[in-house]
Amino acid sequence: MKEPVKLSNQVALGALCAAAVTALTMVSVPVPGYRLYFNLGEGTIYLAALLFGPRIGMAAGGLGAALGDLILGYPMWAPLSLVIKGLEGAVVGHLGRRLKPPVAIAAGAAVMIAGYTASAWVLYGPAAAPVEAVTDLVQSSVGALGALVALGVLGRVLKDRAD
């Protein structure tokens, strides 16, 4: 039987995953005309959630993305990212225990895209919503591809070490 991970180890793991999300969120490209940006943190949220479950996924997504927003100069998005990306990580982590990873990722991406598109609509008006939706669709697709490739590689490495 698998031994549960100690709370102190979960906190440390969550902090490391959040730091990884922050670092890859900072690999970003601003979207001209709006205070929006494309980043590479998405795949790290998916990977953390699939490997370590909904709690770590929520911590990594919410805290990592919010900190990235603050560092990159988008403070108005930080509280939104805390909630939206936290929910995204929790959904992927929860569904990843029951469903195939691509399905779990698609559900998490839908949460993220809906949350940010609605937020852009409120903050900048209806013209910003389609720009946000397209940016998020590309971002989540790139993140999904990266996470699934990394998950395959890590799965093989971890399996080899267990044998």
DSSP letter string, 69-128: HHHHT-GGGHHHHHHHHHHHHHHHHHHTTTS-HHHHHHHHHHHHHHHHHHHHHHHH-TTH
Q: Which residue has the tokens 């990884």?
A: 20
- Residue 128's nearest CA partner among 35, 5, 14 is 35
Quick check: 102 pLDDT over 70? yes
Look up residue 20 and give its two tokens.
Answer: 């990884």
Q: Nearest 5°: CA angle at 70, between 55 and 119?
A: 75
Structural domains counted in the chain: 1
Predicted confidence at residue 161, as pLDDT, reads 57
Helix, strand or coil, per DSSP, at residue 31: strand
Does residue 101 lie within any of the structural domains? yes
Q: How far apart are CA 84 and CA 81, in angstroms?
A: 5
Does residue 92 lie within any of the structural domains? yes
**What is the CATH number for 157?**
1.10.1760.20
Predicted confidence at residue 40, as pLDDT, reads 87
CA distance readout (Å), 80 to 12, 84, 99, 121: 24, 6, 27, 13
Q: What is the pLDDT of residues 31-55, one digit of tens each?
A: 776 666 778 899 999 999 999 999 9
- Residue 43's nearest CA partner among 127, 128, 109 is 109
Q: Which residue has the tokens 């490495």?
A: 157
Does residue 1 lie within any of the structural domains? no
**Domain range for 52:** 7-162
Q: What is the pLDDT of residues 17-28, one digit of tens each?
A: 999 999 998 887
The arithmetic mean of pLDDT across residues 75-84, rounded, is: 97
The residues pairing with 37 across neighbouring beta strands, listed in sequence order, are 30
Does residue 2 lie within any of the structural domains? no
